[in-house]
Structure 1
Amino acid sequence: MARDVDELIAYELSDGVARITINAPNRGNALAADMRDRLTERFDEASEDLKVRVVVLTGAGDRHFCTGADLGGPQKPGPSRPEGAPERAPGDAARLIRRGWQRLVASVMDCDKPVIAAVNGTAAGGGAQLALACDLVIMADTAKFIEAFIRRGIMPDAGGAYLLPRLIGIHRAKELMFLGEDVDAALADKIGLVNRVVPADELNAVVDGYAQKFTTLPTRSIAYTKRMTNRSFETSREQSFDDEAIFQEAITLTEDCKEGLSAFAQRRDPVFRGW
């Protein structure tokens, strides 16, 4: 009998805040293929749901945020193979990465809503990239990051070689990826991997405070700002300026922009609704 993946990727929407919890603490909150794909779907759904103003991602328990791929969990069966074909053919692994973890990380970065990672415990391998793909990263002082790929004799995937140099510079990124050493909360804060480090027992309250702020802000303005910022490193000055002008014009057509201008003229606080 198929398991209920919605118990393993818990989703709750309340007052504009979509909370996603990876709920497999007995397996380090590692993601089997069905969990990974359901998580991707949840980010896609949150992106288009007007009731969602912000997404919070965390792991169940207090030991692990996400420890990457659960290779021992259920996997999607591939197509039948002709007689004499090898169990693994050239292109199989690359296709798995593109359709799996790369798609998940892209769904976070492309989500129109701001995504907050509440890093409650170890974020390792693909789980580290999953956290770092989020827009804000709030880390418990007991948590740690591990670019664990080198320990398994492989190279970083799930977008690691794209994300890390943009966050901390190429030399620091190489050090983390080449050596695969634990990065505790103090070091993560020092090198700029995270926005804030907080006591573990205050993590939820601090993250809730950020989430509530986002429910009062103009969501479409944040979406366009996120899109421009995420591609700023590979965009020319001319293209960035052009995008800025086009996106700003699009924003002026939103109800929230009209509300913001009206509130400014009337000298009152704006009430943004997210569209």
Structure 2
Amino acid sequence: MHPLRLERDGAVATVVLDRPAQRNALDLALKVALRETLGEVAADEGVRAVVLTGGPEAFCVGQDLAEHAAALAEGPAFDTVTEHYNPVVTALATMPKPVVAAVAGPCVGAGLGLALACDLRLWSTTARLGTAFSGIGLTCDSGLSTTLVRAVGEQRARELVLLAQPFGPDEAVAWGLGGRVVEPDALLEEATALARRLAAGPTAAYAESKRLLADAAAGRPLAETLAAEAAAQVRLGATTDHAGAVASFLAKRRPTFEGR
């Protein structure tokens, strides 16, 4: 059985982690499939928005520890961070189209890292979140030492990482992880509706905005930010989307965006 499904609905691609019996634990097959699939949807000009989900029971419990234990018996077992986790998180964070995480059930360790690498999040009331790393004598991977601090602040991030303190979806929203909480049976439907809305929008502008926001969050100086914004506006000013939207505004009609 393939550990991942890719579903298409018009311009929306839904990437489904599909190891439900293992709560979508990340074994080698799933990590490779996820890395390759995200590369495919990033390059597919027909895809204008992406949903990442693990189905109704679990988003992702992080690394498959049974496989990890077997690898440890053979020697050091951490090449997967650079070979799999880093490329996957980079693909999500830099993809030139919006990515929505639809999170139900456990979302811990690298699973939480995947969710926070997405642009927007919807949380099921069943979501159970945590960092988990210190519980097995490890530290952060999948970008959490950056994304968690940006979302909740350094002090709360220290508590969540050092104490491996679990938390729920309401806390996630209140603390700054973004998104909103929905009922379980509405999660995928609402995530797909959000992705369809984004897919119908100015996806070229979204890609520029993602880059600007990420660089600003990384501490880029104001002068560099101003220069980057100016360059991005010049690029977008030459797009069909911009010209069409201005004409639509003046004509008092709804614009149609093509992502170019």
Residue 87 of structure 2 corresponds to: 103
Amino acid at match of 2:249: F
Report matched runs for 1:126-141 at 5 Å: 126-141=110-125
Report matched runs for 1:143-222 at 5 Å: 143-222=127-206
Is the deviation greater in 96-105 or in 147-156? Answer: 96-105
Residue 64 of structure 2 corresponds to: 70
Alpha-carbon RMSD: 2.0
8 Å CA contact 2:101, 2:122 repeated in 1:
yes
Report matched runs for 1:225-236 at 5 Å: 225-233=209-217, 234-236=219-221
Distance 1:38 1:217 in 2: 28
Helix, strand or coil: the match of 2:111?
helix
8 Å CA contact 2:93, 2:118 repeated in 1:
yes
Helix, strand or coil: the match of 1:105?
helix
Amino acid at match of 2:229: E
Q: Cα offset for 1:73?
A: 4.5
Distance 1:205 1:101 in 2: 28
Amino acid at match of 2:8: L
Amino acid at match of 1:66: C
Q: Cα offset for 1:47?
A: 1.7
8 Å CA contact 1:116, 1:137 repeated in 2:
yes
Q: Please tell me whether residue 23 in structure 1 is matched to residue 23 in structure 2.
A: no
Tell me the percent identity.
Answer: 31
Distance 1:29 1:197 in 2: 21
Report matched runs for 1:26-41 at 5 Å: 26-41=21-36
Amino acid at match of 1:251: L
Residue 274 of structure 1 corresponds to: 259
Query: Which structure has the larger Rg over C-alpha atoms?
Result: 1
List per-residue Cα deviations over 1:106-164 (Å, max 9, x = no partner): 11001111000000111011001101111001000111111000110111111111111
Q: Cα offset for 1:255?
A: 1.7
Residue 6 of structure 2 corresponds to: 11
8 Å CA contact 1:218, 1:256 repeated in 2:
yes
Distance 2:26 2:9 in 1: 25
Helix, strand or coil: the match of 1:123?
strand
Q: Cα offset for 1:49?
A: 1.3
Amino acid at match of 1:130: L
Select which of 237, 253, 258 maps to 2:243.
Answer: 258
Amino acid at match of 1:185: P
Amino acid at match of 2:224: Q
Helix, strand or coil: the match of 2:205?
helix
Helix, strand or coil: the match of 1:20?
strand
Helix, strand or coil: the match of 1:202?
helix
TM-score (norm 2): 0.93
Q: Cα offset for 1:266?
A: 2.2
Distance 1:87 1:198 in 2: 44
8 Å CA contact 1:63, 1:143 repeated in 2:
no
Is the deviation greater in 185-194 or in 130-139? Answer: 185-194
8 Å CA contact 1:33, 1:74 repeated in 2:
no
Give ranges in structure 2 of 5+ residues lacking alignment. none
Amino acid at match of 2:139: M
CA gap 1:96/1:201 in 2 versus in 1, 3 angstroms: closer
8 Å CA contact 1:46, 1:113 repeated in 2:
no
8 Å CA contact 1:220, 1:251 repeated in 2:
yes
Distance 1:205 1:225 in 2: 26
Amino acid at match of 1:105: V
Amino acid at match of 1:231: D
Select which of 101, 104, 115 maps to 2:99.
Answer: 115
Distance 1:209 1:165 in 2: 29
Distance 1:87 1:215 in 2: 46
Residue 82 of structure 1 corresponds to: none
